Amino acid sequence: MKRPHRGLEKASRVALLAKFTGIFRRSYGIVDVHAARELVGKGAVLLDVRSLPEWDSGHASDAYHLPLHEVLESGLDVAAGRPVVAICRSGGRSASAARMLSRQGVESYSVRGGMGAWRRAGLEITPPH
């Protein structure tokens, strides 16, 4: 049996998909460590969302520590109207933090590769405590 309105059905699906793609679009940016440094140099907050033991093992010297589980509660206070560049060990938790903050209206970014990439790039890290 031939489907006479196949083109129309396809156009409807495309229109529907186009209407709702915004809900699937990423609401935060992903940056490499060099772009992260540049953003921080322009006034963004570098937010380290790792655990305290990870933080104590060494962190970017100008980072602010706020474990991921505290981002919803205190992230807006830390941002204080500035963009936020979130960093973690490898990029997963920082993406979650950036997503949470962007949903609260904060311009936010996640650092691709996290502190591992930061170290490999030779960027400044405080010595372990």
User: pLDDT digits over 46-82, tens only?
Assistant: 999 999 999 999 999 999 999 999 999 999 999 999 9
Task: Check: pTM over 0.85? Answer yes or no.
Answer: no
pLDDT of residue 6: 56
pLDDT surpasses 70 at 116 = yes
Rounded CA separation 77/120 (Å): 31
Instruction: Look at residue 23 in the predicted model and tell me its pLDDT.
Output: 53
Using the predicted structure, report yes or no on whether residue 1 has a pLDDT greater than 90: no
Question: What average pLDDT does the segment 13-38 reach?
Answer: 74
Is 39 within 8 Å of 85 (Cβ atoms)? yes
| 41 backbone dihedrals φ, ψ, rounded to 5° | -60, -25
Structure-token pair, residue 42: 């322009």
Place of tokens 């950036």: 98
Q: State the chain's maximal CA–CA distance in angstroms.
A: 74
